[in-house]
Amino acid sequence: MRDNILVTGGAGYLGSTLVPDLLEAGYRVTVLDNFLFKQASLNHVCHHPNFSVVKGDIRVESTIVPLLRKADVVIPLAALVGAPLCSLDPVGATSTNHDAIALMLKNLARDQVVLMPTTNSAYGTGDENNFCTEESPLRPISQYAKEKVAVERELMQHPNAISFRLATVFGMSPRMRIDLLVNDFTYRAVHDRFVVLFESGFKRNYIHVRDVSRAFQHGLANFDRMKGQIYNVGLSDANVSKRELCEHIQRQVPDFVFLDAPVGKDPDQRNYIVSNAKIEATGFQPRHTLDAGIAELIKGYTMLKNSVYGNV
């Protein structure tokens, strides 16, 4: 049985969508989170008898080890996510994104299951055709991508592990992140009506946050035939450039304007077309399209605006 699930970082962007889904599916879920962003994203599941929560730091051995011993499955979501955040706190990023996972793996029994999100930003720009499968060489550039590659390598030494290389995630979540690309551009379209693009031809892949939750549930349901493998998780019909993404948004926000300018550079130099055929062959298919996600975000941003220091 794999009934007891420990989700680290379970109050974050992914976790606050995944945890309610796991509870609804009948699992017992314990969340460990430091609530760094003062989020109240799991308020709506506190009534559930199968939900437990611990406020603490995954880097503290005396905190994490007792929780690991009670878990059949570990889903380690706790991380400083993205190159910009890691650049702000490189020491904290290493201790959280790499060292804490190494500590976790050291303390796991061989029969305990680990389902972990990694990142397809590790592909860099892919091959000469910018095409990437799970077998493609990894060319991580940022600290974030490099440490995710190192962690994945260590993770796959565990006999009961799956790595999900996530595309850029989008969509509304109880713990919202406006900085993710689709979320960011849609926010700018709704509130600013314009965005200035750099490297507008760079392509990347996308996946809805609810489909990420579904991918983890799919991994649990099909674990015995998926274990020991790495899977790209993304929308196969959404390998689109930044400019093409803006065109998708403009269809729903007609007065949205986007302009090209040589004003920046992606720290991971993400420019690739990603194949999701491997996970699709296991029976997984995303349900949430890019356009549906944009429509959802437009509704969400009707209610949400960063205006702490403004009167409008």
Q: Where are the domains of the chain?
A: 4-170+206-234+276-286
Round to the nearest angstrom and report the end-to-end CA distance of the chain: 53
Amino acid 306: pLDDT: 78
Amino acid 96: pLDDT: 86
* pLDDT one-digit tens code per residue, 13-32: 999 999 999 999 999 999 99
What value, to the nearest 5°, has the Cα angle with vertex 230 and ends 54 and 94? 50
Q: Which residue type does 228 have? A: G
Q: What is the pTM of this model?
A: 0.94
The pairs formed by 215-218 with CB atoms below 8 angstroms and a separation of 24 or more are 215/164, 215/279, 215/284, 216/18, 216/75, 216/115, 216/164, 217/21, 217/22, 217/25, 218/279, 218/282, 218/283, 218/284
* Residues 171, 208 contacting (CB under 8 angstroms): yes
Out of 3.20.20.70, 3.40.50.720, 3.20.20.10, 3.10.129.10, which CATH number does the structure's domain 4-170+206-234+276-286 have? 3.40.50.720
Neighbours of 164 (CB within 10 A): 25
Low-confidence ranges of the chain (pLDDT < 70): 1, 125-128, 311-312
What is the DSSP secondary structure assignment for residue 139, as one 8-state letter? -
Amino acid 36: pLDDT: 87
Amino acid 6: pLDDT: 98
Amino acid 143: pLDDT: 84
CA-nearest of 130, 140, 291 to 208 is 291
* pLDDT one-digit tens code per residue, 137-190: 888 888 888 888 899 999 999 999 999 999 999 999 999 999 999 999 999 999
Tokens of 214: 């579904």
Amino acid 135: pLDDT: 93
Amino acid 140: pLDDT: 83
Cα–Cα distances (Å) from 192 to 157, 178, 247, 256, 306, in that order, read 47, 14, 16, 8, 12
Amino acid 127: pLDDT: 59
* Residues 255, 193 contacting (CB under 8 angstroms): yes
